[in-house]
Amino acid sequence: MTKNCLKQSIKRKIDSINSLKKLKKIYDFIYALIRDEIKFIQIWRFEDAPEEYKKHFSGDDADWLAFVPNYLLEKERDYFPFLEEGTPFGCCRVEEVKIKEGKILVGYHA
């Protein structure tokens, strides 16, 4: 086997290993989703939100309720500008409460 053929063979094997590593990451992510270990920001109209979240707020003039899981907070991704006061989504006032599972935010129109 020539030196060039050997290099090409090694490169193909490395590419194959890298492809397997990418597939493993995808598999791990999907498996975590299935096991419900990874959560995403969830947003409801206030009246449609789970009672366990609504009980932390008065609800007077509330428009929406959002849940941000610890998974996102722990990754130092806890800045979500669209949920802030003064934005078209955030409206006039946003309150937040930290719970064991993450953070709950409520947006009010007045």
Mean pLDDT of the chain: 80
pLDDT of residue 76: 54
Q: What would the DSSP string read from start to end of 63-96?
A: EEEEEEEHHHHHTT----GGGSTTSTTT-SEEEE
Is residue 65 pLDDT above 80, yes or no? yes
pLDDT of residue 38: 64
pLDDT of residue 44: 93
Q: Which one-letter DSSP state was computed for residue 62? A: E
For residue range 8-44, what is the model confidence (pLDDT) as tens digits? Answer: 887 888 888 888 888 887 777 777 677 766 678 899 9
Percentage of residues in the chain having pLDDT higher than 90: 18
Tell me the pTM: 0.61
Is residue 98 pLDDT above 80, yes or no? yes
CA 10, chain centre distance (Å): 38
pLDDT of residue 79: 65
Percentage of residues in the chain having pLDDT higher than 70: 85
